[in-house]
């Protein structure tokens, strides 16, 4: 794969990000297959390239976007999106005012809430702008084991709404406010969808969480529907890593997924599915600081989350390893050449006058080395455009969110 990526991007400066179109399409088809007829809502935060979002949404089986911010949702609606669920609550009063004054946006966008203060902001904007604002209740999908002070919380700290009675109380409050209406509920089971199957403990937590949600999710939905006096338009749940268990629950009307389109390195340790890596970034070798080491110019793009090796990028050349002392730097990325050397390769990109590569010493100065990011959409924040690699080996450039003007967030 390294040779193909280097040949396709010869002459283009690094750092460079490439999306393999064949792998992207295969991953999209697999998400639909795994969802078993339940619509897949695309998590835009895990993509952040509008061209990719449009391509995926044009496929049967996908419906709607799960946006990161209200500003992003308004921007997407301005480019034609007509069903956008905002995945996090907002206190952006300027964007709320824009939403409530725009009938197209107000009909297309659903806001996330889990607190009365968020509801009050949305209702105030609706009263001023004149448009009804659609709301979705964010219900905590984490697993809680035990009661009282000895209770253990397994999962992210996302929403204070956990039990059916809490969800019903918030829905009742919304029903009493003018200008806002509950459209749906969302459950993001991060401890299932985002937890690799790397240990027996992780697998135990996932099984227990799935069993808990299979009961509690339905009870929450029933409680909210009784509170609002009618059916919910959407019950959103899941993520790339939990699609099968999520869609097995009959109350779920749609499943969210996004990272599975690019298959970042954190998805290498799941047992329930095997996606094809589709997103890569390349850096050029500029130094040989010592025998057995090479240095790539530019940063290594560390992923967010708890600090640790799992958040570091992964070189796709099996001979190369990040050094423990420097890791993935900001301005340079040192690499140790280790393991059995591979045979000499045709190197389409090398600095003028650079000596031939030696397979026992790793890449030569001027060679391009390729990495996979630990996460998906975060990679796109580092470049204004990506190169889309077509099956015939040609590439076309397309803008990321960062490269669009104005950017959504």
Write down the pLDDT at residue 330: 84
> What pLDDT was estimated at residue 353?
45
Per-residue pLDDT, 158:
78
The pTM for the full model equals 0.88
pLDDT value of position 350: 44
Supply the CATH classification number for the domain 68-262. 3.20.20.10
Q: pLDDT tens digits, residue range 368-377?
A: 999 999 999 9
Q: Give me the pLDDT at residue 341, please.
A: 45
Domain positions in the chain are 68-262, 279-399
Q: Which phi-psi region, left, alpha or beta, contains residue 358 (left: φ > 0; alpha: ψ -120 to 50)? A: beta
The CATH number for 279-399, chosen from 1.10.760.10, 2.160.10.10, 2.40.37.20, 3.40.640.10, is 2.40.37.20
How do 293-297 and 332-337 pair as beta strands?
Answer: antiparallel
What's the confidence (pLDDT) of residue 304?
84
Residue 91 CB-density burial (10 A; 0-12 exposed, 13-18 middle, 19+ buried): exposed
* Residues sharing a CB contact under 8 Å with residue 302, sequence separation 6 or more, in sequence order: 311, 312, 313, 327, 328, 374
Counting as low any pLDDT under 50, the low residues of the chain are 193, 341-357, 359
Tell me the Ramachandran region of residue 353: left when phi exceeds 0, alpha when psi lies from -120 to 50, beta otherwise. Answer: left
pLDDT at 302: 86
């Amino acid at each position: 794969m390294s040779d193909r990526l280097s040949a396709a991007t010869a002459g283009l400066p690094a750092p460079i990000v490439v999306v393999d179109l064949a792998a992207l399409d295969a991953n999209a088809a697999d998400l639909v297959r795994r969802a078993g007829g339940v619509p897949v809502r695309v998590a835009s935060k895990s993509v952040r390239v509008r061209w990719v979002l449009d391509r995926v949404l044009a496929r049967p089986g996908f419906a709607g976007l799960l946006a990161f911010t209200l500003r992003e949702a308004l921007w997407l609606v301005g480019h034609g999106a007509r069903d956008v669920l905002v995945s996090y609550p907002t206190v952006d009063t300027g964007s709320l005012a824009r939403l409530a004054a725009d009938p197209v946006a107000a009909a297309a966008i659903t806001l996330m809430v889990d607190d009365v203060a968020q509801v009050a902001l949305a209702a105030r904007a609706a009263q001023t702008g004149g448009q009804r604002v659609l709301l979705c209740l964010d219900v905590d999908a984490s697993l809680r084991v035990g009661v009282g002070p000895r209770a253990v919380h397994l999962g992210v700290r996302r929403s204070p709404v956990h039990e059916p009675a809490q969800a019903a109380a918030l829905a009742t409050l919304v029903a009493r406010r003018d200008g806002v209406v509950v459209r749906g509920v969302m459950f993001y089971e991060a401890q299932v969808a985002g937890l690799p199957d790397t240990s027996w403990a992780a697998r135990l937590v996932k099984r227990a969480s799935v069993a808990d949600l299979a009961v509690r999710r339905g009870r929450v939905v029933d409680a909210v529907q009784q509170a609002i006096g009618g059916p919910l338009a959407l019950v959103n749940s899941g993520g790339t890593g939990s699609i099968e268990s999520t869609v097995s629950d009959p109350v779920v009307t749609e499943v969210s997924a996004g990272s599975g389109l690019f298959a970042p390195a954190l998805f290498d340790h799941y047992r329930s599915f095997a996606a094809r890596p589709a997103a890569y970034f390349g850096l050029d070798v500029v130094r040989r600081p010592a025998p057995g080491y090479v240095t790539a110019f530019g940063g290594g793009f560390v992923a967010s989350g708890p600090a640790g090796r799992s958040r570091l990028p992964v070189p796709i050349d099996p001979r190369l390893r990040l050094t423990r002392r420097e890791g993935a730097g900001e301005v340079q990325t040192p690499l140790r050449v280790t393991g059995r050397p591979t045979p000499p390769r045709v190197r389409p990109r090398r600095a003028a006058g650079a000596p031939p590569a030696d397979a026992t010493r790793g890449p030569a100065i001027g060679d391009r080395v390729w990495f996979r990011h630990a996460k998906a959409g975060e990679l796109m924040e580092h470049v204004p455009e990506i190169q889309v690699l077509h099956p015939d080996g040609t590439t076309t450039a397309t803008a990321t969110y960062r490269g669009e003007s104005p950017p959504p967030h």
